[in-house]
Structure 1
C-alpha cells in the first residue's frame, strides 16, 4: 500500500466496501459548499437526516428566514412549514449528490428524509406520509426513513411494493432485523408481480450501534462485579456483527437468489449512531470495528473528522468474529441482563427521542413563523 493511501483512512474505508455517509444536513452545509467539499475530498457518498439534525439547523442562523416569511404569508401551520423546509433541504441534497448516484448505478448518492416519528405506531398514516415525501421531493435518489416498529414493517412492505426506496431506521434487535429483511423481500416480491423494475428500488437497514453499549454498560455497572465490568463497551459491536451474519445468510438464500435474478438490489446494513457516547472509548471504534463490504456507515461530522484524521481499517473479516460475538452476548445474558428487554427499552427510548426532537422542531418553526410574521 503506498503512503498516500495510508494517510487517507476514509479512502481505505471506501476501498473496503463501506459507503461513507454523513449524518447531518442543513441549509448552511448546502449553501456554504461544505457538503460539496465533503463529497469531493472526504469520500462522502450519502446523507442521513433526522428531526434532531433539522431542529439544530433551524435554531442557528438566518438561512431559513426567506422561506419562513413566505410560509408565514401563506398561513402555513408549523407542521406544514416543517414539511416544506425539510423537503426543500433534502431535495437540494439529492441534487447535489445526483452525480454520485449516477456514478454508482444508484447504490449511493442518497439522502434520507424521515416520516413524522409521531406516526410510528400507525401503519396507514406512515404509508400516506411516505408517499407524500417521495412525491414532494421528487428525486429518484431519495430514501424515505421509516422506523422498524411492528406497525412500520407493514408500511415498509407496502411502499417498497410501490417502488419507493426506504431507509429502515431504529433497528436494535436481531429478531427485528430479520423481520425488516422479510418486509423488504416481501415488498420486492409484490413489486415484481406488478412488473416494476426491481433495480430501481433501494433500501438500507439502519442498525443502531452506540446506544446498545450505553444501555448495556449502564446495566453492567449496576451488576457491579468485575466480571460484568469486563464486558463493557463490547455489546454494540457484537450485536452489529451478528446482524451482518444475518445479512450474509439472506444473500445466500434461495429466496434472495430468485429476487436477485429478477434484478433486485440487496438491502444494505447501515451502521447508525456511530458517534461514541462514552469518552473512555476510542472515538472511531464504531467505524473501524464494523468494516465489511456492502455496508454503509453514517457518521456525525465529528466522527467523520476523527476517522479521517486517525481511523484504522482492520484487516479481520467479519465472519471470523461471529462466534466471539455470540459468546459475548451470551455472557451478558449470563450476567443477568436481558437482551430482549434492552432492545425493547432502546426502541421505546429511540421513538421518544425522535418524538421530542420533532416536537422541538415544530416549536422552533412555530416560534420563527411568529417572529417573521411580526416583523
Structure 2
C-alpha cells in the first residue's frame, strides 16, 4: 500500500524525487519499492552522493575491477560507474517517465564540479554524459554559475534535458529561467521537438537558513532571534512567484504554445540542518503545484511518518515572504553577500567530494591490479 502523506503531497502537485542513488538501492529493489510505496517519481545525484555510495565499496568492487582490466583511468572509471547507476535507475523509472509524458521518471547526473567556471567544458561534458547514459529520462545537472548560464542555453538547444543546480538567489534564478528560454528558442530554430525537452531549476533552501541564522544569532537581538528559521522558506516562496511571473510572460507563452514545458522549480537541500526546526519544514511549507521536492531519505521517511500536508502553502504568501527578507535586511544582513558566499561554498563542497571520489577510485583500481 502507498503512504497517505506522500500521496497527499503528490496530489498537491509536488513531484517527490529522492536525493540519493547507489548500486545497493538499485540491485536490492529498494528504489523500485519507493516508487510503489512512497510516490517517489525521480532521483537526483551529485558528487557527494556518488562519493558516499562508491566510497562505501558496496556493489562496486567487481565493476572497478572490470575497469582496471580494461585499462581505464580514474576519471573514465568514475564515468563508467556513475553513468551505469544513472542508466539503470532510468530503466527503473521508465514506467513513470512514460505515464507522466516525460515530466517525471527523471534521474539527474552532474557534470564534474571542476567545470563550473568552464562554459565550453561544461557543454562538452553535458553532451558526453547524455550520450553515455543514453536514456531519454536522464537529466544533466549544470551549476547555475555565471559561466554555467550559456552552458544551460547551449545544452537545451541540443535537445538535452537539464537540471540547473546550486541556485541560491532570486536574481540568479531569473537569469536561469532566461537561459532556459534562450535554449528553447535555439532548439526550436534547430528543429528540435520542444515537448521532449524538460528542465528543473534546483533552488537550495536549508543552506540559506544555516548561513542567515548564524548571522542572526550574532546580532542577538529579540527581533533577530525571531527571524531564525524563516529565510529559506521565504526565499523559495519568492522564487515560486518568479517562476509564475516569468512563465506567464508572452515570451514563455509563445514557446509553451509550440509545445515547450515550463522549467519547474525544484526545492533542493531540503534536509533540515537545525534540530530546533520541524524536520519536514522544507516539504510541507513549500508544497505547491508544478514543483519538485528532492529529499534525502531521512526527510522522505519523516514526511511519510508525520508530515502535515495542507495543500498549496506558497500561493498568496509572497507579501509575507518579502517582509521576512526585508526584516532580515534591516538586521544588517546582506542578502547578496550571503547568496554569493553560498554559491562559492556549494561549489567547494562538490569539489571536495569529487577529490575524495577520485582518491577512493584510484586506490580501488590499484588494488584490483
Confirm whether residue 92 of structure 1 aligns to residue 66 of structure 2.
no
Confirm whether residue 197 of structure 1 aligns to residue 193 of structure 2.
yes
TM-superposition CA deviations, 1:49-76 (whole Å, max 9, x none): 0111111111224411111111111222
Confirm whether residue 68 of structure 1 aligns to residue 64 of structure 2.
yes
Change (3 A) 1:29 1:154: same
Report the counterpart of residue 162 of structure 1 in structure 2. Answer: 158
Confirm whether residue 368 of structure 1 aligns to residue 368 of structure 2.
no
- Structure 2: how far apart are the matches of 1:312 and 1:47? 23
TM-superposition CA deviations, 1:67-107 (whole Å, max 9, x none): 11111112221111111100000000001101000000000
Of 25, 29, 36, which aligns to 2:25?
A: 29
Q: What is the aligned residue count?
A: 369
Report the counterpart of residue 79 of structure 1 in structure 2. Answer: 75
Mean Cα deviation higher: 55-64 or 201-210: 55-64
Unaligned 5+ residue runs, structure 2?
none
- Structure 1: how far apart are the matches of 2:98 and 2:311? 30
Report the counterpart of residue 288 of structure 1 in structure 2. Answer: 284
Paired residues of 2:289 and 2:312 also in contact (CA < 8 A): no
- Does the residue aligned with 2:71 lie in a helix, a strand or coil? coil
TM superposition shift of 1:36 = 0.5
Paired residues of 2:285 and 2:313 also in contact (CA < 8 A): no
CA root-mean-square deviation: 1.1
TM superposition shift of 1:251 = 2.0
- Structure 1: how far apart are the matches of 2:174 and 2:40? 28
1:104-183 alignment runs, 5 A limit: 104-183=100-179
- Does the residue aligned with 1:318 lie in a helix, a strand or coil? coil
- Structure 2: how far apart are the matches of 1:241 and 1:314? 16
Confirm whether residue 300 of structure 1 aligns to residue 286 of structure 2.
no
- Does the residue aligned with 2:108 lie in a helix, a strand or coil? strand
Report the counterpart of residue 323 of structure 2 in structure 1. Answer: 327
- Structure 1: how far apart are the matches of 2:312 and 2:63? 49
- Structure 2: how far apart are the matches of 1:201 and 1:330? 37
Confirm whether residue 18 of structure 1 aligns to residue 14 of structure 2.
yes
Confirm whether residue 344 of structure 1 aligns to residue 340 of structure 2.
yes
- Structure 2: how far apart are the matches of 1:87 and 1:13? 30
Report the counterpart of residue 224 of structure 1 in structure 2. Answer: 220
TM superposition shift of 1:170 = 0.1
Report the counterpart of residue 356 of structure 1 in structure 2. Answer: 352
TM-superposition CA deviations, 1:269-320 (whole Å, max 9, x none): 0000000001111100000000000000000000000000001112455221
* TM-score computed with the length of structure 1 as normaliser: 0.97
- Structure 1: how far apart are the matches of 2:57 and 2:126? 29
Of 235, 240, 243, which aligns to 2:239?
A: 243
* TM-score computed with the length of structure 2 as normaliser: 0.98
- Structure 2: how far apart are the matches of 1:103 and 1:268? 18
- Structure 2: how far apart are the matches of 1:247 and 1:63? 40
- Does the residue aligned with 2:20 lie in a helix, a strand or coil? coil
TM superposition shift of 1:156 = 0.3
TM-superposition CA deviations, 1:178-211 (whole Å, max 9, x none): 0000000000011111211000000000000000
Confirm whether residue 215 of structure 1 aligns to residue 223 of structure 2.
no
Unaligned 5+ residue runs, structure 1?
none
